[in-house]
Structure 1
Amino acid sequence: MTERTAEPTGPAERAASIAAYWDAAAPSFDEEPDHGLRAGRTRAAWARLLRSWIPSAPLDVLDIGCGTGSLSLLLAEAGHRATGVDLAPRMIEEARAKFTTAGLTARLLVGDAMAPPTGDQRFDAVLCRHLLWTLPDPEAALRAWVARLRPGGRLVLVEGRWRQSARAAAPYADGAASLPWHGGIGAEELSRTVRPLTAGLRVDSLGEHPDLWGGEVDDERYVLVAHV
């Protein structure tokens, strides 16, 4: 019988386990169509939506859980001042290489999404895609992100419940199954959580746009845009 690895017992151990998981995933992360945005139609679809969510460049935009920096790069190409934060050092290495190749600049930092290492800086927009399900206290994270926005700023959350099959319900890293929103968060629940923190919000479905994902999808995918 194979010996089972003990699950992390504290926040620091859990964070280290999750960072190690994403470090290992970094070299192949961009193979997913909506991660690497390598296909022209997919890249154009995300660029078009980002312009509608975060208009009027140049703005200071914080991309939390930026991964390999694909969305941060689109923000920079649109003229924004992008700051990307990710827990996994190898993800940030990939993002820096991507910016170097493109001849563009951004501030790319290794850090915890719960407390991005940006000091007292305030931002015009905070962008987060497919990250809330990985956090030990997503509601506290949302409060912290809203607090980093300037008056009139906007919070842009690309989320969903895209792991709905029994096969996909297995933990992606040790201890992840106990996370509050493991497997994703539906639009109604996220709206209830965000609404008291903001002056208004809207939710738009993204599941009917195959160009965003590299093909048809049949699960819940959406964007929530809130203003403070």
Structure 2
Amino acid sequence: MTQTPGTEPLATAVATYWNAAAPAFDDEPDHGLRAAATRAAWAARLAGWLPAGPADVLDAGCGTGSLALLAAADGHRVTGVDCAAAMIDRARAKFTAAGLPGTFLVGDAAAPPTAHRAFDVVLVRHLLWTLPDPHAALRAWAERLRPGGRLVLVEGRWRQSADPAPYVPGAGALPFAGGVGARTLAQAVEPLAATVRIERLDQEPALWGHPVQDERYALIAHL
């Protein structure tokens, strides 16, 4: 989490929450990608979002590394960042079991601790709703891209967001609590990008393991 003044307790609470959630995180179909159909659906989408050749991919808020693993299996060089050490431990274990190389760092996904490394792709899934300053995070991710790089944001506006229950104290006041709609996110990204496109994902139940009734999409921005 971005630790702006006054947000440190929230950042700590968020990291604590996700560390506790790590053991059961992959039980969700779109988290663990354990079902062949779900895994294949995400692999196909990633193939369309990422460059054709081997690329340097930063997975910000990587969780247990399921999407990172798909990218690595397709030949990309992957770096994952997450605030929860327990998530990172599971991501590393997946890569070890698969015999694939990958770099994983415990740190703030909104300001990844990657020093001056540049990437071809920054991949982010379902993270913006947890951030105290999502606009600063978008700028930080754009700054980590090489010229011509792309930002891939998998986001949504969750069905429960009409009255979001904070998952940790204070989270209900976050700018994108309950998710962010495609139009709002596109408006935030457009000043940073040469092109922005939206792909609807809510009509593809294989991605989620079941039909969904809320807004889900990918935003792909070329810088």
Q: Same fold (TM over 0.5)?
A: yes
Deviation at 1:161, TM superposition (A): 0.6
- Secondary structure of residue in 2 paired with 1:164: helix
- Aligned 1:176-187 pairs, distance under 5 A: 176-187=171-182
Deviation at 1:171, TM superposition (A): 0.5
1:74 aligns with 2:82: no
Partner of 2:116: 120
1:58 aligns with 2:54: yes
The one of 195, 199, 204 equivalent to 1:209 is 204
What code does the residue aligned with 1:216 have? P
Structure 1 unmatched runs, 5+? 1-8
| 1:71-130 CA distance string (max 9 Å, x none) | 000010000000000000100011111111111110011010121010000100000000
Per the normalisation by structure 1, the TM-score is: 0.94
Partner of 2:191: 196
Partner of 1:43: 39
List 4+ stretches of structure 1 deviating above 6 A: none
Partner of 1:143: 139
CA contact (8 A) 1:124 1:150 kept: yes
Per the normalisation by structure 2, the TM-score is: 0.96
CA contact (8 A) 1:156 1:226 kept: yes
Between the aligned partners of 1:101 and 1:170, the Cα distance in structure 2 is 37
CA contact (8 A) 2:161 2:177 kept: no
The one of 95, 99, 106 equivalent to 1:99 is 95
- Aligned 1:6-21 pairs, distance under 5 A: 10-21=6-17
1:152 aligns with 2:156: no
What code does the residue aligned with 1:93 have? D
CA contact (8 A) 1:64 1:85 kept: yes
| 1:30-75 CA distance string (max 9 Å, x none) | 0000000000000000000000000222100000000000000001
1:26 aligns with 2:30: no
CA contact (8 A) 2:60 2:110 kept: no
1:174 aligns with 2:169: yes
Between the aligned partners of 2:45 and 2:83, the Cα distance in structure 1 is 25
- Secondary structure of residue in 1 paired with 2:218: strand
- Secondary structure of residue in 2 paired with 1:192: helix
Deviation at 1:166, TM superposition (A): 5.5
What code does the residue aligned with 2:152 have? V
Corresponding residue pairs, total: 219
Instruction: Mark the CA change 1:165 to 1:226 in structure 2 (over 3 Å): closer, same or farther.
Output: closer
Instruction: Mark the CA change 1:202 to 1:165 in structure 2 (over 3 Å): closer, same or farther.
Output: closer
- Secondary structure of residue in 1 paired with 2:150: strand
Between the aligned partners of 1:114 and 1:102, the Cα distance in structure 2 is 28
- Secondary structure of residue in 2 paired with 1:185: coil
Instruction: Mark the CA change 1:163 to 1:16 in structure 2 (over 3 Å): closer, same or farther.
Output: farther
Deviation at 1:159, TM superposition (A): 0.3
RMSD, aligned α-carbons: 1.2
| 1:185-209 CA distance string (max 9 Å, x none) | 0000001110011001100100000
Between the aligned partners of 1:165 and 1:175, the Cα distance in structure 2 is 15
CA contact (8 A) 2:161 2:178 kept: no
Structure 2 unmatched runs, 5+? none
Instruction: Mark the CA change 1:165 to 1:176 in structure 2 (over 3 Å): closer, same or farther.
Output: closer
Of all paired residues, the percent bearing the same amino acid is 64
- Secondary structure of residue in 2 paired with 1:62: strand
Deviation at 1:164, TM superposition (A): 2.7
